Chain A
Amino acid sequence: MMMLVKIRYIVLAALFFVVAPLAAQAEGLIVDQTFSGKKEITVKLSGAVDRKVAENVGNYTVFEEADPDIILALGSATLGHDSKSVTLQFKAPLNTAKTHVVTAQGLAGIDKTTFKVSKSYLGYLFGIFISALLINNFVFTKYLGLCVFFGTSKKKSTAKGMGVVFTVVMVVSALMSWFFFNFILTPFNLNFLQIVVFIGLVSLTVQAVDTVLRKVNPILFNSFGVYLVLVIANCVIIAVPLILANNNYNIFETFMLALGAGGGFLLALYLMSSVSERLQLAKIPPTFKGLPIAFIVAGQFAMAFLGFSGLQLF
């Protein structure tokens, strides 16, 4: 009996905590809230509000949910023409990946309105993937792995094999590096050993993939094994752990970044190899034969990839 009463109280308390924030959201005054730019939050309201109150910067406090102590500085607040939407302009760019809490005072006569602004997490993860794949393509925008890129993009079949091996090694080594970084390097304050540890891990992964592939699938090993040696001394592979350590990514973000980077490398190799196959038939001036023309083609690809820079899906 006592147990049941206790459980009832616990359930009620839990319900209260779930419902309380909803009640604090001031009965549907806020219809929609989104990040509209790097420095902007747009809030749509259900009814018209007083312009004087809505445009007073002092009425708003905004902070990231993780650190409520740091109040973000607001530049201006503008009310739209229909008086139903407020645009908050910030002085510094926001970290749109984090959930932001906005508190507005006196809007539509209500003493205090609190709401949260966040992006959908899955969308954010997909954004990391697309960014690594296209917007920040490791070959054409970040200029990594060029030695291998120019070396192995002569034939389509080679390019495909190389790209797949790269993606596999990249994902495995990135996940391993993530574990090492978060559970060994950071707790023991050994961040300065990053480079040594990551390059060791990459070499180990390559060795492991080599051994496993040799035993499990000898046919695949015969077609891909040659590229494995090339993988070790490559900056694309080592760049992924360094980037994830710089940005403090969690495991899902790391996975998406590695997958995007590997996919981007595969894409770049495949594109380049299809052009190279055509180039072999073309009449090229003798001074441009070989590397120079490959560089110029890559430059044109890089310009094309520049077009992705405005891409924002979520």
Chain B
Amino acid sequence: MANDKSSMQLITRGILSENPIFKLALSMCPAVGISTTVMNGFMLGIAVLFVQVFSSVTISTFKNVIHPRIRIPTYTLTIATWVTVIDLVLAAYLPEAYAKMGIFVKLIVAFAIITMRLEMFACKEPVKDSFWDGLGMGLGFMIGMMVIGFVRELLGSGAIFGFDVLGFKPLLFFILPSAGFFVVGLMMAFFNWIEVYYKRSKGLK
């Protein structure tokens, strides 16, 4: 069934119809916690993308060796290994960005989205498809983080990627921690509204 899916379909599915943040509502902690700027969202997105792709490929490669009863511990250890790798790499080469993300890089190990993709996809499908699926999911997460970061940075500090765009600060409230909840909630409502509107216009036809 999934074999006839092209790589493009797998990627777009992760970004649009099954977007981890807005559609599946998984891994919300970083989406609220550190999405204060586009750059932060981008960096954590890269880290998650890396972990997702590599653990998907690893599990998919060894799927015939793993006994079904110990599959969950195996997933956890695989993810933990790849998280350790990206954690050390970021700490060594990008110490500034790493300091901003704080504990969240290490917490990728507990992100529900990665375990879920391994359980639902990578342990059944061939390596190549798992790679594309992981890439799609990772990209979907990254884009979601960047969109939230974009809204919060633009409204909070009037800048994008650290460059001053508006020249003034419209609502300082948006870079305060608690605004993360409001932005995510309002954006979810916005996407729901589009869906409802779309369905209604279709129904009228």
Q: List chain A positions with a Cβ less than 8 A from chain B.
A: 140-147, 150, 192-196, 199-200, 203, 232-235, 237-239, 242-243, 246, 286-289, 291-296, 298-299, 302-303, 305-306
Contacts and interface: CB of A to CB of B under 8 A. Distances in A.
Contact of A142 (B33, B72, B83): B33
B110 A143 contact: no
**Chain B contact patch, size range:** 35 or more
B157 to A, nearest CB: 18
Contacts of B192: 286-289, 292
B107 interface: yes
Contacts of B112: 147, 233
A299 B181 CA distance: 5
Interface string B188-203: 1110110010000000
B185 A293 contact: yes
15 contacts: A146-B28, A150-B28, A195-B84, A196-B80, A199-B110, A203-B73, A203-B76, A246-B103, A287-B189, A287-B192, A287-B193, A291-B25, A298-B181, A299-B178, A302-B177
A90 B192 CA distance: 53
A233 B84 contact: no
Contacts of A296: 181-182, 185-186
B115 to A, nearest CB: 6
B186 A147 contact: no
Given A192-B84, A192-B88, A199 B76 contact: yes
Given A235-B107, A295-B185, A296-B185, A302 B178 contact: yes
B188 A291 contact: yes
A200 B73 CA distance: 8
B106 A242 contact: yes
A146 B80 contact: no
A143 B76 contact: no
A237 to B, nearest CB: 8
A246 B83 CA distance: 17
A286 to B, nearest CB: 6
Nearest to A289: B192
B26 interface: yes
B180 interface: yes
B196 to A, nearest CB: 6
Contacts of A289: 192
Contact of B29 (A147, A200, A203, A292): A147
Contacts of B28: 146-147, 150
Given A144-B33, A295-B185, 11 more contacts: A143-B30, A144-B107, A146-B29, A147-B29, A195-B80, A196-B77, A196-B81, A235-B111, A287-B196, A295-B181, A305-B178
B151 to A, nearest CB: 14
Contacts of B103: 239, 242-243, 246
Which 10 A-B pairs have CB atoms at the shortest separation, nearest pair first?
A: A295-B185, A299-B181, A302-B178, A143-B33, A292-B189, A235-B110, A146-B28, A299-B182, A287-B193, A296-B185
Contact of A199 (B87, B109, B176): B109
Contacts of B155: none
B39 interface: no
B135 interface: no
A286 B186 CA distance: 13
A39 B115 CA distance: 45
A200 B109 CA distance: 11
Contacts of A302: 177-178, 180-181
A144 B178 contact: no
A134 to B, nearest CB: 14
Contact of A238 (B72, B107, B176): B107
B189 to A, nearest CB: 4
A200 B193 CA distance: 42
Nearest to B88: A192
A288 B29 CA distance: 20
A199 B179 CA distance: 30
Contacts of B184: 295
B32 interface: yes
A198 to B, nearest CB: 9
